[in-house]
Amino acid sequence: MTILVVSGTGTGVGKTVVTAAIAALAMAAGRRVAVVKPVQTGAAATEPADLAEVDRLAAPTTLLELARYPDPLAPAAAARLAGLPFVDLTRFADRIQLLTADHELVLVEGAGGLLVPFDASGGTLADLARALAAPVVLVADPALGTLNHTALTLEALSARGLECAGVVLGSWPADPDLACRANLADLEALLGRPLAGALAWGIGRLGRPDFADAARAGLAPSFGGRFDAADFRRTHDPRPRGPQPDQAEQD
């Protein structure tokens, strides 16, 4: 049994697609998979939301949404504005733990970033991950600004004693700019190990079999894929510009 919490360096970085990709490869390996969305915001009660997308792409064994608020805000703010009860992270942790009895993998997709307020007392996804003793898969944007966002999130994980299960780029563009390409080595330096994946932009539009193939290409072996971080970096890293340290000394 494994519980993985999927968080992001911010909103809109590809958490749902990464969650679906991990689920798809686990399902292909014959594992029973549960995907939990503790809090869904920005969706009406009957509106398809993140779990509907995960179901379309990966068809996991079990899907469970624990709370929903209509406004596209942080969960605590959305609950307050809607006049609805705040989430109960302790109760949520208990319900998620129950799923481990008959699932080999339980994926918990957060809302927004790691420290977005979930409840009235300021509880966060990080607190839920601690209650579950679960590693966190961090989904990052490859673009300009990601180094600061990723470094801050990794620091927050470390300060709370949480394990990072890997950094995955949630949407790698078809034509990456200089910032995206240059960020690869720096992201790995922040993490202290290779990236755990880079999913191609737009794969969420694929049908299920093609999505599974794209997930396999974009996720590391630790998640059941064949992504080779070193090869990916060699392919995309920009050439060095300006004198390198040893060249400067020679000059």
247 inside domain: no
pLDDT of res. 249? 47
245 inside domain: no
Supply the range of the domain harboring residue 73: 2-238
Enumerate the active-site residues: 37
Residues 39-72: tens digit of each pLDDT: 999 999 889 999 999 999 999 999 999 999 999 9
Total domain count for the chain? 1
DSSP one-letter string for the chain? -EEEEEEESSTTSSHHHHHHHHHHHHHHTT--EEEEES-EES--TTS--HHHHHHHHH--SEEEE--EESSSS-HHHHHHHHT-PPP-HHHHHHHHHHHTTS-SEEEEEEEEETT---STT---HHHHHHHHT--EEEEE--STTHHHHHHHHHHHHHHTTPPEEEEEEEEE-SS--HHHHHHHHHHHHHHTS--SEEEETTGGGS-HHHHHHHHHHHB-GGGT----HHHHHHHHPPPP-S--HHHHHH-
102 inside domain: yes
pLDDT of res. 136? 98
Give the mean pLDDT of 71-78.
96
244 inside domain: no
What is the rounded average pLDDT for all residues in the chain? 94
92 inside domain: yes
Q: How confident is the model at residue 236 (pLDDT cuts 50, 70, 90)?
A: very high
- The CATH number linked to 165 is 3.40.50.300
Q: How confident is the model at residue 246 (pLDDT cuts 50, 70, 90)?
A: low
pLDDT of res. 250? 46
pTM of the model: 0.93
209 inside domain: yes
114 inside domain: yes
Q: Is the pLDDT of residue 23 over 90?
A: yes
224 inside domain: yes
